[in-house]
């Protein structure tokens, strides 16, 4: 008697792989063949983790901090997070409203599992971070896309959201991301406040906080409403991608159910990494400021360079470390163009189509790389465009 392997679930087959991985794999292949590739496709800081964080981690491990920790996160880390929110945003969030997770992705996934009934809608901007629709659909939810306009700097428009909510009965939440991936857009206080007042729960992915380059400081959604969940982490601003630590801040009534979910599904987050994160909050902010200063210089270098090559950047992006540039005059098929630029010019970028129809015809350039690499990448792009007769 032979048995067949059962098929995977419909939800599993719906999960789309990261297209950026396809670019990276192709880039790696070229590199293994001896080609030089400039990487502007990855969303990962090139700076080392601040040394004070590394030192804490080493000491914690040597001291034996490798047993199970509290399922919600160590009390010390949650107290440090609470102080951080008071100091940086002026909001009082008690430590018990934080849930520490092994990265923000795990946190977002558990959150959507906790929140969505099949058929519930979640409003996303279009373009969006590539994983968002997968999170929503994995739990039977329906992404409802709000097209954000190039001319408006790709910022969510509260009045367009209002119409979308009026036209759809089952909107459970609005997911916002400011500063945003892939657009670098930063929502100003007025927009945040207007979105907070629309009615649905606001899920605010604040993973790029600490990386805005305007006078205006970062604002958490919790300054405007308690009817919100914040998703935060250490990967980007603190240059701690590979450490895998993030957190949720949830409204009081959500705490216990989410804690039960964390107990069952995660057990706890690496104990020593939690001590390292605590040190990051308490002692690494000057280092965050220093990196922010350097990212800002790279940002200007990238924007000026791309504009001088005729790429469209209608509104200057002021956050994260991405520039979404219009390349539709070269090729409206962003995937084909990204592959061609990689192949012919040795420059890896992320095709806009990865981030939804609203970014088709665009390429995402990450400036989380050295000024020398940015210069070299722009030079390669210039030669590529010259060859195609597409320089201004």
Contacts with its own copies in 111-130 (CB under 8 A)?
113-117
Helix axes 255-265, 104-115, angle to 10 degrees: 120
Scored b (16 or more CB within 10 A) or e, 227-239 reads: ebbbbbbbbbbbb
Instruction: Select from 8, 33, 215, 372 the one that contacts its own copies (CB under 8 A).
Output: 8
Q: 213 to 242, contacts with its own copies by CB under 8 A?
A: 227, 240-242
- How much of the chain is in helix, strand and coil states, percent to nearest 5? 45, 15, 40
Instruction: Select from 76, 91, 102, 285 the one that contacts its own copies (CB under 8 A).
Output: 102
Q: 324 to 383, contacts with its own copies by CB under 8 A?
A: none
Q: 29 to 48, contacts with its own copies by CB under 8 A?
A: 42, 44, 48
- Residue number with CB closer to its own copies (99 or 269): 269
**Regarding beta strands 362-366 and 350-351, do their DSSP bridges make them parallel or antiparallel, or are they unpaired?**
antiparallel
Residue 53: C-alpha distances to residues 187, 272, 285 (Å) = 30, 11, 11
- Residue number with CB closer to its own copies (175 or 378): 175
- Residue pair 381/345 in contact (Cβ under 8 Å)? The answer is yes
Which one-letter DSSP state was computed for residue 151?
A: G
Does residue 103 bind its own copies (CB under 8 A)? yes
Instruction: Select from 253, 372, 389, 392 the one that contacts its own copies (CB under 8 A).
Output: 253
Does residue 264 bind its own copies (CB under 8 A)? yes
For tokens 């465009």, name the residue: 385
- Residue number with CB closer to its own copies (36 or 264): 264
Does residue 64 bind its own copies (CB under 8 A)? yes
Does residue 52 bind its own copies (CB under 8 A)? no
Per CB under 8 A, the segment of 110-118, 286-294, 358-366, 378-386 that binds its own copies is: 110-118
- Residue number with CB closer to its own copies (203 or 337): 203
Q: Would you give the binding string for its own copies spanning residues 160-179, x where CB under 8 A is met?
A: ------------xx------
Residue 37: C-alpha distances to residues 25, 48, 344 (Å) = 12, 21, 10
Quick one: CA dihedral 50, 205, 133, 227, positive or negative? positive
Which one-letter DSSP state was computed for residue 213?
A: -
Task: Output the smallest distance, CB 387 to its own copies, in A.
Answer: 33
State the Cα–Cα distance between residues 146 and 158, nearest whole angstrom: 10
* Token pair of 6 as six digits: 């059962």
Does residue 265 bind its own copies (CB under 8 A)? yes
Does residue 266 bind its own copies (CB under 8 A)? yes
- Residue number with CB closer to its own copies (57 or 186): 57
Q: 132 to 151, contacts with its own copies by CB under 8 A?
A: 134-135, 138-139
State the Cα–Cα distance between residues 205 and 383, nearest whole angstrom: 38
Which one-letter DSSP state was computed for residue 17?
A: P
Per CB under 8 A, the segment of 85-93, 159-167, 256-264, 309-317 that binds its own copies is: 256-264
Task: Output the smallest distance, CB 87 to its own copies, in A.
Answer: 26
Does residue 25 bind its own copies (CB under 8 A)? no
């Amino acid at each position: 008697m032979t048995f067949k392997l059962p098929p995977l679930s419909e939800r599993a087959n719906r999960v789309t792989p990261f297209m950026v991985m396809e670019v990276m794999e192709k880039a790696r292949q070229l590199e293994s063949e001896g080609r030089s590739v400039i990487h502007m496709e990855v969303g990962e800081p090139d700076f080392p983790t601040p040394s004070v964080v590394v030192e804490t981690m080493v000491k914690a491990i040597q001291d034996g901090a490798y047993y199970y920790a509290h399922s919600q996160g160590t009390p010390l880390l949650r107290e440090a997070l609470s102080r951080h929110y008071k100091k940086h945003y002026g909001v009082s969030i008690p430590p018990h409203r934080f849930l520490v997770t092994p990265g923000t992705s795990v946190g977002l996934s558990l959150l959507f599992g906790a929140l969505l009934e099949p058929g519930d809608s979640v409003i996303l901007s279009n373009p969006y971070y590539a994983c968002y629709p997968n999170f929503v659909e994995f739990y039977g939810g329906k992404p409802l896309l709000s097209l954000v306009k190039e001319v408006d700097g790709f910022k969510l428009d509260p009045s367009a959201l209002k119409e979308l909510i009026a036209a759809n009965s089952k909107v459970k939440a609005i997911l916002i991301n400011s500063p945003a991936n892939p657009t670098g857009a930063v929502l100003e206080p007025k927009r945040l406040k207007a979105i907070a007042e629309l009615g649905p729960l606001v899920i605010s992915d604040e993973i790029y906080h600490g990386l805005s380059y305007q006078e205006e400081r970062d604002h958490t959604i919790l300054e405007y409403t308690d009817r919100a969940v914040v998703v935060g982490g250490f990967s980007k601003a603190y240059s701690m991608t590979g450490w895998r630590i993030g957190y949720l801040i949830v409204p009081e009534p959500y705490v216990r159910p989410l804690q039960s979910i964390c107990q069952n599904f995660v057990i706890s987050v690496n104990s020593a990494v939690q001590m390292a994160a605590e040190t990051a909050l308490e002692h690494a902010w000057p280092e965050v400021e220093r990196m922010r200063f350097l990212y800002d210089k790279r940002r200007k270098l990238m924007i000026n360079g791309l504009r001088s090559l005729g790429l469209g950047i209608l509104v200057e992006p002021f956050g994260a470390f991405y520039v979404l540039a219009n390349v539709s005059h070269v090729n409206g098929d962003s995937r084909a163009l990204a592959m061609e630029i990689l192949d012919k010019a040795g420059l890896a970028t992320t095709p806009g189509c990865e981030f939804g129809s609203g970014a088709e015809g665009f390429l995402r350039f990450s400036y989380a790389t050295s000024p020398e690499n940015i210069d070299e990448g722009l030079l390669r792009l210039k030669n590529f465009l010259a060859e195609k007769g597409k320089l201004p």
